[in-house]
Amino acid sequence: METPLTNNIGPDKPFPDLAVYEQNGGYQTVRDTIGKRSPTDVQEAVSESRLRGRGGAGVSTGMKWGFVPMDNASPGHKYLVANADEMEPGAFKDRVLMEFDPHQLIEGMILSAYAIQADIGYIFIRSDYYLATARLKAAIAESRDKGYLGERILGTDYSFELHVHVSAGRYICGEETALLNSLEGKRANPRTKPPFPPISGLWGRPTIVNNVETLCCVPHIVQNGADWFRSLGRAEDAGTKLFGASGRVKNPGCWELPMGTPIREILEGSAGGMQDGYGLRGFLPGGGSTGFLTDEHLDLPMDYDAIMQVKSRLGTGTMIILDDRTCPIGMVENLVNFFARESCGFCTPCRDGLPWIEEILHKLETGQAEPEDMNILAQQAGFIDWWGSDSSSNGNTHCPLAPGAIEPLESARKYFADDFERHIRDKKCSYR
């Protein structure tokens, strides 16, 4: 099984500084590509690879890049931003990639920037990731010294500057347009879409925001070709992905596996199954903003569309496992608490709707809920609308934070309805 993203990573492997990274074949793609292949060529390779964004929404990377005006259609700066904000509850895959192989991200960014002819790049990184920040900064310095970054890369006409920007530490800063506002020094409110960033992004210029993992795939696609990348997937989707599991499993962690790996293989294989004495109640397949699935879904492949069909999302691919001795309502309350706190405060359903939901979940957990509270939960959930959102900012809410925030709640109401009833009937949480 090929693991291109984590080839350089492992307990007994040396840390890939520039020398090691190059020894392992790193930056060869940059050497082979910049000034030698056309930007369109690179874009085509990525399009044909069917790479989908690893930041959560699974948008086709090639398609997104295709919206960037090329040649002289838009003279002036263009930007590439690596979204390294990774604050999704349960997600820590980008951290692994950045801490243990920073040059891979940098190489991915050089190639991606070249493909869209961006001249400036930013890595927008979560403030808690200080180790990754330090390593990226060091790697960027090494890379610049070697001529892979900066003015006239490797003597070609192409120049690309790369900066690391440490986020102020808000979940909403991971939403790509809030990220851009934040990068500009403004309030991290998401922007109106359309226009989308490839048309009007950072400082009003064409901008591509990609997830760290998405960008890390690019050197391998460019080097080995789209066919190779597609062949890595086991089902519909292409490539490999870092999957993770947290919760009461024997071996929580993060593994690079083919797209389309069945959930059961990850949970029972890589994660080693449930800890002794705990049974599986459900799991959030893609992080804290994705809906619960249960054991009936274990044989589904971890593919974007397959998970979407059962009304959850692949998200970041980092599962959170709910065991049978933990209160699902408590878990949902904890998550809603996080999302309500992280709401940017721009639109009403999220800003005021989530705290109300939180309040009711709290009542449930402390035995104060009344039967009518279930109606309020339903009303509030309908207000935010789990499935109504699309990529524009013109649905029930201005951005997908709130719809994501209630995915666990909505699926919990469906799968764990009896728990809600019991909490109300017994006026207490039976898990305590």
Partner 1 sequence: MPKIVVDGISYEVDAGNNLLEALLNLKRDLPYFCWHPSMGSIGACRQCAVIQYRDEDDDTGRIVMACMTPVSEGTIFSTDTDSAKEFRRDVIENMMINHPHDCPVCEEGGECHLQDMTVMTGHRNRTYSGPKNTFRNQYLGPFIDHEMNRCITCYRCVRYYSDYAGGVDLAAFASRNNTYFGRHQDGILESEFAGNLVEVCPTGVFTDKTLSEHYTRKWDLQSAPSICVGCGAGCNTSASERYGQLRRIHNRFNDQVNGYFLCDRGRFGAGFVNNEDRIPQAGIRDSEGKYDRVSAEEALSHVADQLANSSGKVVGIGSPRASLESNYLLKQIVGEGNFYSGVSSKEQELTNCIIDIMRDGSVKTPSLAEVEEADAVLVLGQDLTNTAPRLALAVRQSVRNRSKELAVQAQIPLWQDAAVRELAQDELSPLVLLTSYADRLEDVASLSCHASATDIARIGFAVANRLNDRFTAVDGLSETDQKTVEEVVEILKAADRPLIVSGTGSQSKSVIEAAANIAWALQADNEQTAIMLCVPECNSLGVGLLERENSNTLTDLLDSTDTISTAIVLENDLFRRASTQQITAFAAKLEQLVVIDSLDNATVSLSDVVLPAATFAETEGTLVNNEGRAQRSFAVFEGAGDIQGSWQWLTNLGKALSREGFAALERIDSVTAECERSNDLLSGITKVAPTADYRVEGMKIARMTHRASGRTAMRANINVHEPKQPVDQESALAYTMEGISGPRAPLSAYVWSPGWNSNQAVHKFQTETGGPLSHVNPGIRLIEPAGNGSPQERYREVPQPRAAGAGSLALIPRYHIFGSDEMSARSKAIAELAPSSYLAIAPETAQRLSVVSKDGVEFTIGNRTLQLEVVVDSSVDDGCALFPAGLADTLDLMHQAQVSLQKAAGWTPRTTTQDKLIAKE
Looking at residues 187 to 206 of the shown chain, list those that interact with ligand SF4 (rule: CB under 6 A).
190
Buried b (16+ CB within 10 A) or exposed e, 159-171: ebebebbbbeebb
Nearer to ligand FMN, 96 or 399 (CB): 399
Told to check if 372 binds partner 1 by CB under 8 A, we report yes
Looking at residues 266 to 305 of the shown chain, list those that interact with ligand FMN (rule: CB under 6 A).
none
Q: Which helix (H) or strand (E) holds 344?
A: none
Q: Exactly one of 298, 385, 422, 429 binds partner 1 (CB under 8 A); which one?
A: 385
Task: Tell me the two tokens of residue 414.
Answer: 């469906």
Nearer to ligand FMN, 327 or 401 (CB): 401
Q: C-alpha dihedral over 189, 193, 197, 202, to 10 degrees?
A: -30
Q: Contact, 6 vs 256, CB < 8 A? A: yes
Told to check if 118 binds ligand FMN by CB under 6 A, we report no
Q: Computed from CA positions of residues 306, 310, 311, 316, in that sequence, does the dihedral angle turn out positive or negative?
A: negative
Told to check if 191 binds ligand FMN by CB under 6 A, we report no
Closest separation in Å from C-beta 355 to ligand SF4: 11
What Å distances lie between residue 285 and 102, 130, 177, 303, 411, CA to CA? Answer: 27, 27, 25, 11, 12
Q: Contact, 176 vs 170, CB < 8 A? A: no
Helices (H), 50-173: 61-66, 93-100, 102-116, 130-145
DSSP secondary structure, 375-407, as one string: HHHHHHHHHH-SS---SSS-SSSSSTHHHHHTH
Closest separation in Å from C-beta 275 to ligand FMN: 29
State the binding partner of 93 from ligand SF4, partner 1, ligand FMN, none, CB within 5 to 8 A by kind.
none
Looking at residues 186 to 205 of the shown chain, list those that interact with partner 1 (rule: CB under 8 A).
187-188, 191-192, 194-195, 199-200, 203-204
Nearer to ligand SF4, 209 or 257 (CB): 209
Q: Residues 348-367: x/- map of binding to ligand SF4 (CB under 6 A)?
A: --xx----------------
Told to check if 85 binds ligand FMN by CB under 6 A, we report yes
Number of shown-chain residues binding ligand FMN (CB under 6 A) = 24
Q: Exactly one of 210, 343, 380, 411 binds ligand SF4 (CB under 6 A); which one?
A: 343
Told to check if 176 binds ligand FMN by CB under 6 A, we report yes
Q: Exactly one of 142, 175, 265, 365 binds ligand FMN (CB under 6 A); which one?
A: 175
Closest separation in Å from C-beta 137 to partner 1: 28
Told to check if 172 binds ligand FMN by CB under 6 A, we report yes
Listed residue (260, 18, 220, 276) closest to 135, CA to CA: 18
State the binding partner of 86 from partner 1, ligand SF4, ligand FMN, none, CB within 5 to 8 A by kind.
ligand FMN
CA angle, 261 then 264 then 267, to 5° = 100
State the binding partner of 261 from ligand SF4, partner 1, ligand FMN, none, CB within 5 to 8 A by kind.
none
Closest separation in Å from C-beta 190 to ligand SF4: 5
State the binding partner of 187 from ligand FMN, partner 1, ligand SF4, none, CB within 5 to 8 A by kind.
partner 1
Closest separation in Å from C-beta 312 to ligand SF4: 19
Coil/strand/helix, residue 5: helix
State the binding partner of 402 from partner 1, ligand FMN, ligand SF4, none, CB within 5 to 8 A by kind.
ligand SF4
Q: What single-letter DSSP state applies at residue 249?
A: B
Task: Tell me the two tokens of residue 57.
Answer: 């929404």
At how many degrees (to 10) do helices 102-116 and 39-49 cross?
110
Task: Tell me the two tokens of residue 195.
Answer: 């226009």
Q: Which residues bind ligand FMN (CB under 6 A)?
A: 53-57, 59, 61, 83, 85-88, 171-172, 174-176, 209-211, 214, 399-401
